[in-house]
Homo-oligomer: A and B are copies of this chain.
Amino acid sequence: MERRSKKSGLPPGSLVHIGERKNGEVKITVIKYDAAGFQEREAKTLDECLPDKEKPEVSWINVEGLHQVEIIQKLGDCFGLHPLVLEDILNTEQRPKIEDYQDYLFIVLKMLYQERGPEIVTEQISLVLGSEFVISIQEGLDGDVFNLIRERIRSGKGRIRTMGADYLAYSLIDAVVDNYFAILEKTGEKIETLEEELVAYPTSKTLHGIHGLKREMVFLRKTVWPLREVINVLGRGESLLVRDTTRLYLRDVYDHTIQVIDTIETSRDMLSGMLDIYLSSISNRMNEIMKFLTIIGTIFIPLTFIVGVYGMNFEFMPELKWRWGYFTVLAIMAAIGLAMVAYFKKKRWL
Contacts and interface: CB of A to CB of B under 8 A. Distances in A.
A290 B294 contact: yes
A263 B144 CA distance: 28
A222 B315 contact: no
Interface string A303-316: 11101111111111
A293 B303 contact: no
A255 B106 CA distance: 14
A188 interface: yes
A298 B292 contact: yes
A279 B276 CA distance: 11
A158 to B, nearest CB: 4
Interface stretch (A23-31, A55-63, A122-130, A174-182): A174-182
A44 interface: no
A69 interface: no
A317 interface: yes
A7 interface: yes
A320 B325 contact: no
Given A178-B7, A218-B266, A293-B298, A312 B326 contact: yes
B5 A185 contact: yes
Contacts of A325: 314-316
B4 A204 contact: no
Given A215-B270, A266-B218, A312-B307, A174 B12 contact: yes
A1 interface: yes
A160 interface: yes
Main secondary structure of the interface of A (DSSP, over half): helix
Interface stretch (A35-43, A46-54, A71-79, A280-288): A280-288
A99 B251 contact: yes
Contacts of A292: 294, 298
Contacts of A324: 316
Interface in A174-224: 174-175, 178-179, 181-182, 184-185, 188, 201, 204, 207-208, 211, 214-215, 218-219, 222
Interface in A223-279: 248-249, 251-252, 255, 258-259, 262-263, 266, 269-270, 273, 275-277, 279
A157 B304 CA distance: 85
Contacts of A287: 282, 286
Contacts of A211: 273, 276-277
A148 B99 CA distance: 28
